[in-house]
Amino acid sequence: MSNKIIQAIYNDDDVLMAAVKKIKAKELHIEEIFTPFPVHGLDKAMGLPHTRIAVAAFIYGCIGLAVASSLMGYIMIADWPQDIGGKPSFSFLTNLPAFVPIMFELTVFFGAHLMVITFYMRSRLWPFKEAENPDVRTTDDHFLMEIAVDNNESELTALLEETGAVEVIVTEKH
């Protein structure tokens, strides 16, 4: 297998989307696409599998709800019960209406923060990590598609130029 990769640069998201569909119709594997903004439907056109991030968010929210419930049950009922505003403090269920806002907030807090941590770990975005962007223009107004070369460099170059690529570059894989 060759160590080369072809980078096709597009200047319009609609042209990129049509190119992705044409390349996937030829059963070629697209390594990566770099875009300056999210392109609706690109993941489906590339054939990427569905993400399980919603399941993770639900689990993280449940963890937050459990932590909030146990924390309030321990602090307000078992450890230091106080009579605040005439409300009795001998039962968790009796005080549940007062605990609902705190439970909601900690559910959202845990869900949001753990999702960010999960995203960074899953994307391998560590502190001080060097950027992997192959072309600076993809952060402004261009789109870049990378396809691995497998002894078909000339055919791939011709296909990418035919799909509307502004620039086609053959480079070594990092």
For 43, other C-beta atoms within 10 Å of its C-beta total 14
Are 17 and 36 within one domain?
A: yes
Q: Are residues 59 and 114 in the same domain?
A: yes
Residue 164 lies in a domain: yes
| Tokens matching residue 91 | 């039962």
Query: Looking at the whole model, is its pTM more than 0.75?
Result: no
Instruction: Kindly state whether residues 113 and 57 are assigned to the same domain.
Output: yes
The count of domains in the chain is: 2
Answer with the residue of higher pLDDT: 152 or 33: 33
Helix (H, G, I), strand (E, B) or coil at 40: coil
Give the pLDDT confidence of 58-93 residue by residue, as tens digits.
999 999 999 999 998 898 888 887 777 776 677 787
Phi, psi (5° rounding) for residue 93? -65, -35
* pLDDT score of 78: 83
Q: Are residues 84 and 24 in the same domain?
A: no
Residues 71 and 110 reside in one and the same domain: yes
Please tell me whether residues 44 and 82 are part of one structural domain.
Answer: no
143 beta partners: 10
In this structure, is residue 129 part of a structural domain?
A: no
Please give the single-letter amino acid code of residue 4: K
Which residues span the domain enclosing 114? 53-122
Residue 128 lies in a domain: no
